[in-house]
Amino acid sequence: MHTPAPIKVKKRPFLSAAFVRAMLAGHSALGLAFAALIYVVCLSGALAVFVQEFARWEQPDGPMVEATPAPEVIAAMLRAGYARAQAEGVAHDIYLSGPLRSPGRMQVHYDDHEKGIEGEWLADAQGQLAVPITAPWADFIGALHMQLHLPRTWGMYLVGLTGVALFSSLISGLLSHPRIFKDAFMLRRGGSLRLQEADLHNRLGVWGLPFHVVVSVTGALLGLSSLIVGVLALAAYDGDRGKAVAALFGPPPTNDSTPAPVPDIGAMILQVQASQPQAEFASAFVQHIGTAGQITQLGMHLPGRIAFSQAYRFGADGKMISAANAHEGRVGQWILTALQPLHFGWFAGIAGKLLYGALGLALAVVTHTGVTIWLARRRDKGRPAPGWEKTWAVVGWSQPLGIATTALAAVLAAGVPLIAVYLLTIAAAAGVAIVASDARATVRVLRLLSALVFVAAAGVHVAAWRTVAVDQMAWIVDVALVIAALVIAAPLLVRHRQVGLAEPTQAH
């Protein structure tokens, strides 16, 4: 008797082809709409991870304080900061940070938000103010990432919305990837440009997913927090934002301007350490300083915690109002204190920063290749868009160039408006694209210029600081700039060899 051969039932895919196509359509639309914004925010974010190191690079002659000093030194720093703020007539709020919060440095920041005046100083190991902080390039990178140099509120909203769009792209990207496991380790270089870029896009996107999700959600929340608090205040606090904020951070200072002694922050640190011997000073924020309405928020870091610090609040009489351990085990408190370290990677020293920097760059590459895939698909289908190819080349490669030119400008001359340098660089990059024959030529020129300017920035910095720098971070960042230049320029040489073998048909 003839036994019929078993019929092989074709396994139904987990995601149907129609669903994948619909998701891809949404992914493409969203990606194209937000690509430039996401790219700028991600690239500047990868650099913003190192913003404290860049600040040290810009001012390597500032006093170094490696270990957290004794409580009396921190108390002396607060008194010195208060005296300075009083002399400038802006003694309203004062923020102190120790080496745990600002590595290698002790910093004092004072401001009077009503007058719109502020000042920032570095303190020495005795707690005395040594020199005003000048870090225009680090400030430029930070503001580019957090508000795109737009007015603060609107800039933060736009960056928050960009975070939402990025998170949305991650969802649609993941759901439009039916071969996620099968292709998990596949990386094909050469071949068709579209396939090569798609492999890079998918591998960096999928394996970096935990990081991508965390930074997009935390970034969106940080950017949109003021909007969310505003609506929450309308719903639950009669429109009073102060009450909504107080629900999270505790009672605000009062407006009782009766003079009062400056808080004895040394005693406060000792009081916390009496119950938490491992707690170490990270920061302090004194609002309405020198008045009977003042509130001191002491930030003490606990080992093994991701949070910068746990907050302890003290009233004008020096008595503790609320202790961090009262919120121990509360999920909301954990999220609140972990948001910033999780977003910026400031929780595991330089190793954590390097990991975050690499992953931030990977996310920028994912964004960049997303548009490149779309452009290559158009070309494959016989509908090339050379204008858009050039435009995307400018968007992609004007950013490293802009970062390099602003670094060079900051080193060359104090007081140069870096935002103007940045915008002029982008305009010049657009000019290169107009003159260049195609997108590929545009990329080559912009890569070469970026590499040269990075090397120039490092060279000028070494020449300017070689005899006076005391902070080794100066030379580390200089070396990093040269490495960045080599990485940017290297593909020019490799590609030159490849072109000799076979010229790809698609423009990049």
Does 359 interact with another protein (rule: CB under 8 A)?
yes
Closest CA to 368 of 23, 38, 145, 21: 38
Site string for another protein, 287-326 (x = CB under 8 A): ----------------xxxx--------------------
Does 73 interact with another protein (rule: CB under 8 A)?
no
Beta-strand relationship, 106-112 and 93-97: antiparallel
Nearer to another protein, 190 or 431 (CB): 190
**Cβ 489 to another protein, closest distance in Å?**
19
Instruction: Give the whole-angstrom CA distance, residue 324 versus residue 322.
Output: 7
Query: Among 67, 87, 131, 248, which residue sits at the site for another protein (rule: CB under 8 A)?
Result: 248
CA-based radius of gyration for the chain? 26
Query: Among 130, 161, 452, 482, which residue sits at the site for another protein (rule: CB under 8 A)?
Result: 161
Provide the 10 A C-beta neighbour count for residue 209: 14
Nearer to another protein, 237 or 475 (CB): 237
Nearer to another protein, 83 or 486 (CB): 486
DSSP 289: T
**Cβ 141 to another protein, closest distance in Å?**
21
Does 356 interact with another protein (rule: CB under 8 A)?
yes
Q: Which of residues 438-477 bind another protein (CB under 8 A)?
A: none
DSSP 332-386: HHHHHHHHHHHHHTTTSHHHHHHHHHHHHHHHHHHHHHHHHHHHHHHHHTT---H
Does 487 interact with another protein (rule: CB under 8 A)?
no
Does 190 interact with another protein (rule: CB under 8 A)?
yes
Q: Using the rule CB under 8 A, give the single segment among 211-219, 265-273, 463-471, 484-492 that binds another protein.
A: 211-219
**Residue 279 near residue 272, CB atoms below 8 Å:** yes
Q: Which of residues 392-431 bind another protein (CB under 8 A)?
A: none
**Cβ 136 to another protein, closest distance in Å?**
30
**Cβ 26 to another protein, closest distance in Å?**
3
**Residue 160 near residue 227, CB atoms below 8 Å:** yes
**Cβ 426 to another protein, closest distance in Å?**
25
Closest CA to 481 of 430, 431, 406: 406
Q: Which of residues 27-46 bind another protein (CB under 8 A)?
A: 27-30, 33
Residue listed under structure tokens 């657009």:
430
Query: Among 332, 383, 414, 493, which residue sits at the site for another protein (rule: CB under 8 A)?
Result: 332
Query: Among 36, 46, 129, 198, which residue sits at the site for another protein (rule: CB under 8 A)?
Result: 198
Query: Among 126, 128, 134, 225, which residue sits at the site for another protein (rule: CB under 8 A)?
Result: 225
Closest CA to 217 of 361, 362, 342: 342
By CB atoms closer than 10 A (0-12, 13-18, 19+), residue 199 is: middle
**Cβ 170 to another protein, closest distance in Å?**
8
Query: Among 125, 130, 355, 421, which residue sits at the site for another protein (rule: CB under 8 A)?
Result: 355
DSSP 198-242: HHHHHHHHHHTHHHHHHHHHHHHHHHHHHHHHHHHHHHHSTT-HH
